């Protein structure tokens, strides 16, 4: 059957359409994305402004039209931290549900981590052993670890690239002083959970997912051969660290000229790089591998399992 996953995130409203069946790999047919950066639309009280709600609903209606045109049998609509944590989140959720004509699944931070981990596990398989996962969205950072299909431990921290840009790096370019404050905040936020992960058995495989981390890998990482002639993107912590001062000293418009940095990531890529570097440092990670699958694929995989288990 043809399934659609509508991911209403802090940075984008992203529709993924795929043909799926029990026991098989989902085959993507369409990907439709609207860039919003909802963090820009938060007022002083933490509510999404009327202008932000209007932009959000416009993107949701567009995604719904694309899903209908693609013949989607079921649309799985989810929302993450920006909508979940907004002061007027209940009203915004109600407006989204009216625009869609169906319920919206609002995911908690640990739910995000668990579903993303599921997608990563399916992508790399059981041979990957114990996986340690990093995922950076616009509003939050998810970290999870485990040797099974779902993680043994999972955490979500409000260290998303968009959120940290608005709070710590509002100037363009931000400069070294603002960068230092963000580093200190990220390190302090990560310290309590880092002790938990350092007590776990060491990971066999460290993985990064999300568009922010994929972009950073194309900027600061390298490719090496994978299975069946494919290439695997790797991101060393040392290389990432060397690019952070460069990103902080050039304006956002110039960042778009760098390898892997798309127009929708230019403003928040610096904050994402700092947060990822601090997370890798806190957990003692020297290098990670990029997963093409993340939250949307995890939502779809979980739904396929649910359908397969129906009486």
Which token pair is 130?
Answer: 């114990």
pLDDT score, position 307: 85
Average pLDDT over residues 94-113: 96
> Is residue 114 predicted with pLDDT exceeding 70?
yes
pLDDT score, position 6: 98
Q: Contact at 8 Å (CB) between 288 and 280?
A: yes
> Is residue 97 predicted with pLDDT exceeding 60?
yes
pLDDT (tens digit, 9 = 90+) per residue, 145-196? 999 999 999 999 999 999 999 999 999 999 899 999 999 999 999 999 999 9
Q: Contact at 8 Å (CB) between 72 and 3?
A: yes
Helix (H) or strand (E) holding 141: strand 141-146
Q: Is the dihedral of CA 138, 139, 145, 147 positive or negative?
A: negative
**Farthest CA pair distance, the chain:** 60
pLDDT score, position 231: 80
pLDDT score, position 31: 93
> Is residue 102 predicted with pLDDT exceeding 70?
yes
What pLDDT band is residue 309 in, cutting at 50, 70 and 90?
A: confident
Average pLDDT over residues 11-37: 91
pLDDT (tens digit, 9 = 90+) per residue, 209-234? 999 999 999 999 999 886 655 789 99
pLDDT score, position 311: 66
> Global pTM?
0.94
Q: Contact at 8 Å (CB) between 176 and 245?
A: yes
Of 15, 59, 16, 17, the residue nearest 37 (C-alpha): 59
> Is residue 81 predicted with pLDDT exceeding 90?
no
For the chain, give the mean pLDDT.
94
């Amino acid at each position: 059957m043809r399934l659609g996953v509508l991911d209403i995130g802090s940075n984008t409203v992203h529709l993924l359409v795929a043909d799926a069946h029990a026991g098989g790999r989902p085959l993507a047919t369409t990907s439709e994305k609207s860039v919003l950066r909802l963090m820009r639309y938060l007022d002083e009280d933490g509510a999404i402004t009327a202008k932000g709600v209007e932009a959000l609903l416009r993107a949701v209606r567009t995604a719904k039209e694309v899903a209908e045109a693609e013949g989607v049998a079921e649309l799985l609509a989810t929302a993450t931290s920006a909508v979940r944590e907004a002061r007027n989140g209940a009203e915004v959720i109600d407006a989204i549900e009216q625009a869609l004509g169906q319920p919206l699944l609002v995911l908690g931070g640990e739910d995000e981590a668990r579903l993303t981990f599921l997608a990563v596990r399916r992508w790399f398989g059981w041979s990957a052993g114990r996986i340690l996962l990093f995922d950076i969205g616009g509003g939050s950072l998810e970290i999870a670890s485990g040797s099974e299909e779902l993680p043994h431990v999972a955490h979500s921290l409000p260290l998303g690239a968009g959120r940290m840009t608005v709070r710590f790096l509002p100037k363009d370019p931000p400069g070294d002083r603002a960068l230092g404050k963000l580093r200190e905040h990220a390190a302090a936020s990560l310290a309590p959970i880092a002790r938990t992960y350092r007590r776990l058995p060491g990971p066999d495989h460290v993985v990064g997912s999300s568009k922010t981390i994929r972009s950073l890998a194309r900027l600061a990482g390298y490719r090496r051969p994978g299975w069946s002639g494919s290439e695997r993107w790797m991101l060393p912590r040392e290389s990432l660290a060397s690019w952070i001062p460069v990103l902080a000293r050039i304006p956002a418009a110039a960042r778009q000229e760098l390898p892997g940095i798309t127009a929708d990531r230019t403003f928040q890529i610096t904050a994402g790089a700092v947060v990822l570097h601090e997370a890798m440092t806190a957990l003692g990670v020297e290098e990670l591998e990029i997963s093409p699958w993340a939250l949307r694929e995890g939502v779809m995989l979980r739904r396929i399992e649910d359908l397969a288990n129906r009486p």
